[in-house]
Amino acid sequence: MKESILSYIEEWDNVAFGELGLAVPGFSGDQTMFHPDFPNLVLWRRVSGEGIAALLELLKAGKIHLCAVEPLVGCADGDPGPLHQLPTTDKFGPGPYREMTWVPVVFSTQPADPAPVRNKRPKQRRN
């Protein structure tokens, strides 16, 4: 399964969970995948244990990367089930997420671009 997932992401890039569920046999299931570093961040429900294991292995090896997206993008290619009822965020991090929070993601072979740096204007002097 791991090879099928990687091949699909390499071919299409920015791949949502729903797409993998349609393209990779055995990917869909009855488990929930959480962010590997932040256990209160829910990535997707309805994933098989084998699918989760394959994704975690590819993420750890640096072959694929998580990219946070808008909720509409995150569920455009699949039914998020009750995820839309959870609070959402578009950032990875420790929180403070006191409750389960959905972070919609896509998978890419390239790391996500960092947030743009905003140039601060120098304060204008008052005369």
* The pLDDT of residue 116 is above 50: no
39, two tokens: 């256990």
2, two tokens: 């791991």
Q: Can you give the pLDDT at residue 26?
A: 98
- Contact assessment for residue 51 and residue 20, using Cβ atoms and an 8 Å cutoff: yes
pTM summary value? 0.82
Q: Is residue 54 part of a domain?
A: yes
Domain range for residue 53? 2-108
| pLDDT bracket for residue 74 (50, 70, 90) | low
| pLDDT bracket for residue 71 (50, 70, 90) | confident
The 8-class DSSP code of residue 24 comes to S
| pLDDT bracket for residue 81 (50, 70, 90) | low
* The pLDDT of residue 107 is above 90: yes
Q: Is residue 127 part of a domain?
A: no
Work out how many domains the chain is built from and give that number: 1
Average pLDDT of the residues in 89-118: 76
Q: Of 30, 15, 32, which is closest to residue 86 (Cα–Cα)?
A: 32
* The pLDDT of residue 58 is above 90: yes
Q: What is the mean pLDDT of the chain?
A: 83
Residue with tokens 């009750």: 82
Q: Is residue 66 part of a domain?
A: yes
Q: Are strands 101-102 and 41-47 parallel, antiparallel or unpaired?
A: parallel
